[in-house]
Structure 1
């Protein structure tokens, strides 16, 4: 089981405007906050978002480089995935593969694909 993930972001406050409501809808609760980051917990697993130091911001993030490609979360149901998709769109965040929603991953895969403010790809998958 995954213990935790720590994700460096370019602008912590901007990222939290996405991640805080998004993770709340998935059952995560804020568990810690410090000057350079915030963590959210769901059961024994937690996610940390930390401000990347300015001297390391130049390279930026792209999921096709070495490292993290995307984060995938369990949705409660297809209706829950649809609810999150509506939130992503209404909040002005990028939805990926919108023309193929909700089956961009194949006919048996009901999922939302979107990006956070740093263009980290995020997926929410409905149970089969």
Structure 2
């Protein structure tokens, strides 16, 4: 079956900070950095490309029309717990910490994080 999403372009204000935050998180979720590029590829072929574009204007606000958040997967609950434990030292801030790991409902096991630029990522156990 072909992948559902081909790629995602992520526009950021601070490439250096975002590279550290996103690079760590994507690697923790099984993505591989592509040599010499600000790009990470998932084993299914989907990739995320990061850049600061001269066409950007204004700050990112996930609460405005557009993409609210990105959801990634990890294979196990132990992997999710590891991402949670290490996220702060990599620039991420946990959202809904008081409801971890069921902030999305009792049957949903996930971690919600926000980057320093306010991008939200939901890390979900399994498919």
Give the TM-score, by structure 2 length. Answer: 0.88
User: Do the aligned partners of 2:20 and 2:90 also contact (CA within 8 Å) in 1?
Assistant: no
Equivalent pairs counted in the alignment come to 123
Change (3 A) 1:4 1:32: farther
- Could you list the structure 1 runs, at least 4 aligned residues long, displaced by more than 3 angstroms after superposition: none
Partner of 1:74: 73
The separation in 2 between residues aligned to 1:17 and 1:112, in whole angstroms, is 19
Q: TM-score, normalised by structure 1?
A: 0.88
Give me the whole-angstrom Cα distance separating, in 2, the residues matched to 1:103 and 1:78: 12
Superposed CA RMSD in Å reads: 1.7
Cα contact 2:95–2:112 (8 A) shared by 1: yes
Distance 1:7 1:92 in 2: 17
Q: Is the 8 A contact 1:71 1:122 kept in 2?
A: yes
Does 2:99 match 1:100? yes
The change in CA–CA distance for 1:3 and 1:125 in structure 2 (over 3 A counts) is same
Unaligned runs of 5+ in 1: none
User: Are the structure 2 counterparts of residues 124 and 18 from structure 1 closer, same or farther at C-alpha, using a change threshold of 3 Å?
Assistant: same
SS for the counterpart of 2:36 is strand
The correspondence of residues 43-122 of structure 1 with structure 2, limited to 5 A, is 43=43, 44-53=45-54, 56-57=56-57, 59-122=58-121
Check whether the contact 2:91–2:115 (CA below 8 A) recurs between aligned residues: no
Query: 1:90, CA displacement in angstroms?
Result: 3.6
Inter-CA distance 28–67: structure 2 relative to 1 (3 Å threshold): same
1:27 to 30, 34, 40: 30
Whole-angstrom CA distance in 2 between matches of 1:63 and 1:97:
16
Q: Counterpart of 1:3? A: 6
Structure 2 unaligned spans of 5+: none
